[in-house]
Structure 1
Amino acid sequence: CDVSDDSSVKEMADRVHEMFGGVDIVVNNAGIHAAGRFMDIEPETYSRLYEVNVVGIVRISQAFLPGMLERGRGSVVNIASTAGLFESPGQAPYNASKHGAVGLTRCMALELAATGVTCNAICPGFVDTPMLDGFADLVGAESEELRAQLAQRTPMGRILDPSEIADLAVYLGSDESSGMTGQTMAISNGMRMS
Structure 2
Amino acid sequence: MTPDLAGKGVVVTGAGRGIGAAYAKAFVAAGATVVVNDLDAEAATSVAKSLGDKAFAVPGDASSEDGVDALVTASRERLGEVDVYCANAGVARGGTEAVAEKAWDVSWNVNVMAHVRAARLLVPHWVERGSGTFVATVSAAGLLSIPGAAPYAVTKHAALAFSEWLSMTYGDKGVRVHAVCPQGVRTDMLWSSGAAGRALMEPDAVDPDDVARDLFAAMEAGRFLVLPHPEVAEMYARRASDPDRWLAGMRRMSGALPSVTMGTD
| 1:52 match: secondary structure | helix
**Residue from 201, 211, 226 that aligns with 1:150:** 201
| 2:91 match: secondary structure | coil
| 2:227 match: secondary structure | strand
Give the distance between the partners of 1:28 and 1:42, measured in 2 at CA.
25
TM-score by length of 1: 0.80
Identity score, percent: 28
Give the distance between the partners of 2:156 and 2:76, measured in 1 at CA.
29
1:104 matched to 2:162? The reply is yes
- Which stretches in structure 1 are left out of the alignment for 5+ residues? 153-157
**Residue from 160, 165, 180 that aligns with 2:211:** 165
Is the CA contact 1:82–1:192 (under 8 Å) kept in the aligned structure 2?
A: no
For 1:155, the equivalent position in structure 2 comes to none
For 2:68, the equivalent position in structure 1 comes to 9
Give the distance between the partners of 1:31 and 1:21, measured in 2 at CA.
26
Give the drift of 1:172: 3.8
Deviations along 1:42-75, whole A, 9 cap, x unmatched? 2331121011100011112223223322320121
Is the CA contact 1:27–1:169 (under 8 Å) kept in the aligned structure 2?
A: no
1:169-180 equivalences under 5 Å are: 169-173=215-219, 176-178=220-222, 180=223
**Residue from 169, 186, 190 that aligns with 2:231:** 190
Is the CA contact 1:77–1:172 (under 8 Å) kept in the aligned structure 2?
A: no
Give the drift of 1:19: 1.5
| Equivalenced residues, count | 176
Give the distance between the partners of 1:115 and 1:191, measured in 2 at CA.
29
- Which stretches in structure 2 are left out of the alignment for 5+ residues? 1-59, 238-265
TM-score by length of 2: 0.60
Pair 14,46 (structure 1): closer, same or farther in 2 beyond 3 Å: same
Is the CA contact 1:124–1:187 (under 8 Å) kept in the aligned structure 2?
A: yes
1:128-139 equivalences under 5 Å are: 128-136=186-194
1:115 matched to 2:173? The reply is yes
Is the CA contact 2:214–2:227 (under 8 Å) kept in the aligned structure 1?
A: no
CA RMSD of aligned residues (A): 2.2
For 1:47, the equivalent position in structure 2 comes to 105
Give the distance between the partners of 1:44 and 1:72, measured in 2 at CA.
39
